[in-house]
Structure 1
Amino acid sequence: MKIPAVLSTIGDFCKRNQQQLIAGVITLSVSLGMLAMRENGAFKQVELWSYDMMMRSQLHEPPDQRIVIIEISENDIQNYRWPFSDRLFAKMINQLSRAKPAVIGVDKYLDLPVLEGRDELVKAVKDAGNVVNAKFIAIVEGRKGIEPAADLAKISIHGYVNLITDKGAIARRTAIVADTGSFAFEIANLYLQRIHNQQIEFNPSAIQFKAGKQIIPRLTEDYGAYHEEDASGYQIMIRYRSTPRGFKHIRATDIINGNFDPALIRDRIAIIGVTAESLKDSYPTPVNSDDEVMYGVEIHANIVSQLVSATLEDRPFIQVWSKESEKLWIVGCVVVGGAIAIFIANVFKNLGLLAILSGGITYGCTYAFAQALWLPIFPSLLGLVTANVLVMAYQLAVQQAERKLLMGLFSRHVSKELVDIIWNNRQQFMEDGRITGQEVYVTVLFTDMRNFSTAAEAQAPGETLNWLNNYLGTIADEVLAHGGMVDKYIGDAVMAVFGVPIPHSNETERTRDAQSAVAASLAIAQKLKEMNDVWVSQGLPPVTTGIGINSGIVIAGSLGSSDRLEYSVLGDTVNIAARLESFNKEVDGGPHHILISEETHNRLENNFATEFVCRYALKGKTQETSIYRVLDIQKSINQLSPASSAEA
């Protein structure tokens, strides 16, 4: 195939599918826009907000009985004052050690001696042999860290208690390992070693940690909704197990006094930490509600539970798809949104399906999150809805333009009911903003006033215009009432057509059109008789109107320039109808001055009283036409009431 032919084929295809192609361009633009906005972090906060919502919806797991929090509450502070002395901490460690816990974690800096009892504290830590103490590493430049005390460094393990927070100080992620292990990491590893003879393994070649069968997913700077974050250290998303106070809590006072059941501690992880509001060691988290906060010791407990459960029970870490897969997912949602707008024209059906799909995506993303897979729910929903709304808005704009065109062509010429039918069937005959020409079978009706000049002479110019509008309006009303279309006004003459613009292809409809045209002409004659009575009473001369009707094939379509289009019908059928109307001047058209052709007469089915006039070669014709006059309407014609005609 030659290049010009290929280009022509492409051009024809684009022309035929212009709306779909533009809708496709809109959908593509929305896809690119969604990807670009997400790539630049535009959706970060709202995605993190939706992450928090999904996290709160998944808190259905039972409490982790392996962890017990020894809380230093406001009451404990009032009992012993703050800071607790080294002797008090030594006593707590000794009491806990007698209950034989797997690990004792102390979420309190013990770098400096506090009051009396330092030697007792060192001895208690050494005797326990399973203590993990807290330290602080300097992340922000210029800020000093808190290193382990020399007397405790050799006899205990230390892990940093730094917590990473997002905007709003929300703790969603943590670095389990930096230069050393975190507080939670060291506690979890020591517990796994002592109780289960396992540990979290490190693969130096791949720089990966493995908990049981799982590779622990490491956050990158653009992990999920994050954008250009500081991803230093081995960061993971915290998969919270519960809301605040979701772990077993025992008061520090009860531990110091030995007022507790040792079975609650044996072979478990006991973490000492503050829950006193005055000490300000609390954070908002995804699982908090309203102004509720979670204390640092509880956050560390959640991280410990996450690492231990992943190793022993294969509890999954929160993961995300690759960036390429996330992009495909978002684009797919956008394409679906645009596609349903393209292929479902009905607005209500479209919105219904859009609502179902939105609910499906929401459910799917929430279900995936329950399996620890974090999908981009907000960009996918926004893309789905945006593409759908924009494509639908474009199509509505096109429809408005087409409707304006159609209404401009037809609203003055057909009934409102027929206008609606035209609009609903617009695709049958609209192309390139014009009505495509087509052969249709119609019945054409012509009317013409016989003594317009005489009547006009008896009136002032302004009165003549009102009088003529009244006359023409009466004719138009009856045409429309009987389901016809007023094609045009030619001075005091009217051309009407029955059977357009929606073509009637079967014989029943064509017969009904012919009968409707004759019924309309009789109604016009009756109305004009009544109007003549009024005009005569006003001193005006009566008028006579001739009517000609013919049925047959015409060419129907829009005529004129793009700025001034007019819908009309052309052909010999129209010419004969006009000649029949004019022939009223030469023969007796009967009491109503209505002449019809043989083609129309054959479709009346004896519903009208008619009379043969003659066979005559009408002006401009070589072949003779059989002509009939319409005398009256038969009783059975009540089937052709205006309502039934319009319905047909």
Structure 2
Amino acid sequence: MAMTSLAATSLILGLKQLSKVESLELMAYDRMMQMRGDAPLDERLLIVGINERDIETQRVTPPDQILAGVLRTLQQHHPRVIGLDLHRNAPQPPGWDDLLAQMQAENVVVITKLGDTVENTIPPPPTLPPDQVGFNDLPIDPDGAVRRSLLLGSNQDGVFYSFALRLALRYLADEGIQPQGSAANPEYLQLGESVFVPLEPNAGGYHRIDSGGYQILLDYRRNEAIAPHISLTDVLENRFDPDLVTDRIVLIGTTATSLKDLFFTPYSMGQQDGQKMAGVEIHAQMVSQILDAAQGSRPLFWFWPLWLEIFWMWIWAVGGGTMAWFVRRPLVLGLGSVALLIGVSGIGYGVFLHHGWIPIIAPALTLGLSTGTIIMYRAQQAQQQQKMVMTLLGQSTSPEIAEALWESRDRLLRSGKLPGQRLIATMLFSDIREFSTLAEKLPPEDLLDWLNEYLDEMVGAVKEHRGIVNKFTGDGLLAVFGVPVPRTTPEEIAHDAQQAVRCALAMGDRLAQLNQDWTRRGLANARMRVGIFTGPVVVGSLGGQDRLEYGVIGDSVNTAARLESCLKTRQPGICRILIAHETLEHLHNQFQVESWGDVELKGKELLADVYRVIGPAGGDDSADGDAVP
């Protein structure tokens, strides 16, 4: 089981290394983000969105003159900082000089695009100092969603701050919070008490992501509007509450779907229309997260190291394998598997609520793989054991006995054998009277057919009464009641004895029917003797590796055989059933018997107190002698 758990963990870890699990982990991440619920609007921010109506009024994007007027109007209400999420590297006349003058204000931050090549780079407006410029590039996950925030990036011209980080730092400067290196690692950015630990390629459910630059996991504040919204036209027409601007971070950007500045987010999963979020709103999410972390109101996401993730996966592999090994009932196993999967998800979600992202799909897969492997192994083992058990038994059993044996196979099987086991059982020996004389009158082929008809009926009676036929002795057989599953209570032992007697009576009835059929066919009739004894025996495998059989050994077996063969000339009826007092005491007055007194049995020093079974209690008493109720 330990090896199975290790193998399952190694296999899933290998798949994880090949990025085969990442997409599922990201789906789980998105679902947890959606389940977590939304936080209140961030009242430190305001978004001035350029919507479809603004586009109709101002053409595709507002000209420089309109944008300069917007900045001028906003500045009248003393915003802490204004972020312009619109590229203005070239004039869109009229009003270019006016716009440049408005952008010179110290509290204005504009954007540039780093791009991955020189051709893709979009420079900022001219003459602005570097501390008023931030890049608006967004890291995109393999499935097209934005889940990460790039704080610092670089290109051929050097290292740059992100648009969101520039806005946040200007706001935090007024709060007395300045960026510094962490005491634990000077290369890590620290704002307030929060250390911004950069993402590793394998953080959380990621694997080998491009973690270049300085990235953190973007903790979305809410799905809908993160902050109050007003439109560009609202600003131009002074139709807004000035308190929405005062002392806030104001972000200006496009929200119209026709401008296609839209991105998939964790909230897009499961949306029929593939709901997207405007770029300016994503930058607002980033600003809000930085402010919350710096001011201590919302922690940053944390992750486990790789070794702890591997241990986490292995723990669930062990749990699934252990359950599959010890739980035998399919329903319980199924419910247990579901419970473990819920446990993996529940713990992962609980950690997520505390801003930790740990793998969920990978441990769930190790759990399922380990459980499935153990189940398949046990199924194969069960098939082998079943074959072994049937080989060891080598006789017919009733369905109930077979089922009980199979349910107890682990206890019964040891080292490829059924171990010796002491128990109380009831033995039934049967034999055809004067079989040798009958055999002389029939050709061997006809004798075999005749004998098989007889034995088929006798075996049927044994199986019907939940016994097993241990062996055939030519024209006779040994049936045992109470094996291979031990009987542990007096009631169970008594039930076996009663079943053996009922079986003997049924054998007599079947023989009577056979005789009638044989008479019609001109074949010889038969009479039989039965000996029954209840006592201790040892059961288990007999033989060697090449040949094994299920053996029943003990003096009780010999006594049953001697009861069958004693006083052969005394044969009332076609089926004589003799029992000893050891069996009689378990019958509980359910049968009519007659006492034959103390009888000397061959090979036995002590006399046996012998009784003949006449029939069920309340039946006709047609035998001579004293009946014992």
Shift of residue 538, structure 1, vs aligned partner:
3.3
Q: What is the 5 A alignment of 1:59-208?
A: 59-126=37-104, 128-138=105-115, 140-153=116-129, 157-178=132-153, 179-194=159-174, 196-203=175-182, 206-208=186-188
Instruction: Note the alpha carbon deviations across 1:56-86, whole angstroms, 9 max, x for none.
Output: 2223201112211111223222212234322
Q: What is the 5 A alignment of 1:349-498?
A: 349-410=332-393, 412-452=395-435, 464-498=447-481
Contact 1:442 1:513 in 2 (8 A): yes
Shift of residue 341, structure 1, vs aligned partner:
1.9
Q: Which amino acid aligns with 2:199?
A: L
**Structure 2 residue matching 1:522: 3-state secondary structure:** helix
Instruction: Note the alpha carbon deviations across 1:13-72, whole angstroms, 9 max, x for none.
Output: xxxxxxxxxx22212211222233323433112112211221222232011122111112
CA spacing shift, 1:64–1:580, aligned 2, 3 Å: same
CA spacing shift, 1:348–1:605, aligned 2, 3 Å: closer
CA spacing shift, 1:479–1:625, aligned 2, 3 Å: farther
Instruction: Note the alpha carbon deviations across 1:203-244, whole angstroms, 9 max, x for none.
Output: 596111112211112112222222233322211111111225
**Does residue 1:55 correspond to 2:33, yes or no?**
yes
Shift of residue 567, structure 1, vs aligned partner:
1.3
Shift of residue 505, structure 1, vs aligned partner:
4.9
Q: Which amino acid aligns with 1:504?
A: R
**Structure 2 residue matching 1:593: 3-state secondary structure:** strand
Match for residue 31 of structure 1? 9
**Does residue 1:250 correspond to 2:227, yes or no?**
no
Instruction: Note the alpha carbon deviations across 1:164-186, whole angstroms, 9 max, x for none.
Output: 11113321112112312111111
Stretch moving more, 60-69 or 216-225 = 216-225
Contact 2:395 2:470 in 1 (8 A): no
**Structure 2 residue matching 1:254: 3-state secondary structure:** helix
Shift of residue 584, structure 1, vs aligned partner:
4.5
**Aligned equivalents of 1:254, 1:361: Cα separation in 2:** 49
Contact 2:203 2:304 in 1 (8 A): no
RMSD: 2.9
**Aligned equivalents of 1:144, 1:355: Cα separation in 2:** 50
Q: What is the 5 A alignment of 1:516-535?
A: 516-535=499-518
Instruction: Note the alpha carbon deviations across 1:347-393, whole angstroms, 9 max, x for none.
Output: 32222222122112212211221221111111111112221222123
**Structure 2 residue matching 1:79: 3-state secondary structure:** helix
Shift of residue 602, structure 1, vs aligned partner:
6.1
Instruction: Note the alpha carbon deviations across 1:394-447, whole angstroms, 9 max, x for none.
Output: 223322332333345558433211222222333443212321123334332222
Contact 1:410 1:419 in 2 (8 A): no
Gaps of 5+ in 2: 154-158, 621-629
Match for residue 211 of structure 1? 191
Shift of residue 246, structure 1, vs aligned partner:
3.5
**Aligned equivalents of 2:587, 2:230: Cα separation in 1:** 101
**Aligned equivalents of 1:292, 1:539: Cα separation in 2:** 91
**Aligned equivalents of 1:463, 1:566: Cα separation in 2:** 29
Contact 1:111 1:148 in 2 (8 A): yes
**Aligned equivalents of 1:366, 1:62: Cα separation in 2:** 21
**Aligned equivalents of 2:545, 2:579: Cα separation in 1:** 36
Which one of 309, 319, 339 corresponds to residue 326 of structure 1? 309
Indicate the percent of aligned positions where both proteins have the same amino acid: 33
Contact 1:368 1:375 in 2 (8 A): yes
**Aligned equivalents of 2:80, 2:260: Cα separation in 1:** 29
**Does residue 1:544 correspond to 2:521, yes or no?**
no
**Aligned equivalents of 2:601, 2:222: Cα separation in 1:** 99
Q: Which has the higher helix share?
A: 1
Gaps of 5+ in 1: 1-22, 639-648
Shift of residue 142, structure 1, vs aligned partner:
4.5
Match for residue 266 of structure 1? 246
CA spacing shift, 1:301–1:511, aligned 2, 3 Å: closer
Tell me the TM-score normalized by structure 2.
0.89
Contact 1:442 1:551 in 2 (8 A): yes
**Structure 1 residue matching 2:24: 3-state secondary structure:** helix
Contact 2:424 2:534 in 1 (8 A): yes
**Aligned equivalents of 1:343, 1:159: Cα separation in 2:** 60
Instruction: Note the alpha carbon deviations across 1:80-100, whole angstroms, 9 max, x for none.
Output: 223432212211111111121
Q: Which amino acid aligns with 1:390?
A: T
Tell me the TM-score normalized by structure 1.
0.86
Q: Which amino acid aligns with 1:163?
A: L
Contact 1:407 1:419 in 2 (8 A): no
Q: Which amino acid aligns with 1:443?
A: T
CA spacing shift, 1:493–1:146, aligned 2, 3 Å: same
**Structure 1 residue matching 2:43: 3-state secondary structure:** coil
Which one of 328, 349, 356 corresponds to residue 345 of structure 1? 328
Contact 1:612 1:627 in 2 (8 A): yes
Q: Which amino acid aligns with 2:292?
A: S
Q: Which amino acid aligns with 1:548?
A: G
**Aligned equivalents of 2:613, 2:316: Cα separation in 1:** 68
Q: Which amino acid aligns with 1:272?
A: I
Work out the number of aligned pairs and report it.
609
**Does residue 1:582 correspond to 2:557, yes or no?**
no
**Structure 2 residue matching 1:177: 3-state secondary structure:** strand
